[in-house]
Structure 1
Amino acid sequence: MLAILAAIVFGFALLLDLLNTDFGAPDLFNWNTLVLIGLLLLSLYLAGVGSGPRSGGGGGGGRWYRGRRPGRG
């Protein structure tokens, strides 16, 4: 989810740069600020923050028993 938000922020920064506008707020919507926000979101995604719900129940997903099952010949 954070990677998608970073892509949206980067796209918005590119649009601002291509249109050469600041939407009337030069300190809020400048190119450098949006790039830094995008890099922050991307680094949080790569660090594993906000990775979403895991598949399965209590933390592990799929088959939880990895060894040889007892009583299976």
Structure 2
Amino acid sequence: MLAIVAAIVFALALLFDLADITSDAINNSTLTVLGLLLLALHLGGVGTGTSAGWRPRRRSRR
């Protein structure tokens, strides 16, 4: 999920750069850093939705 948001942020940064849209608070480098942060969080496993942690799930045999 975070990788999709990072891709959207990178696309916005590209559109802002191509259209020469500037703002005092949000600029191209801010969006790039935000996209890299979201990508790093995705690669780190944040927001994956698994609650088991590092242990594999085992099914009990009957």
RMSD value, Cα = 2.1
Aligned residues: 58
Larger proportion of helix: 2
The answer for the alignment partner of 1:27 in structure 2 is 24
The answer for the alignment partner of 2:3 in structure 1 is 3
- If you compute each CA radius of gyration, which structure gives the higher value, 1 or 2? 1
Unpaired runs of 5+ residues, structure 1, are none
Deviations 1:17-65 (A, max 9, x none): 000112xxx222200000000000000000001112x4xxx732xxx25
Q: Which has the higher contact order (CA 8 A, sep 6+)?
A: 2
Amino acid across the alignment from 2:17: D
Structure 2 length normalisation: TM-score? Answer: 0.78
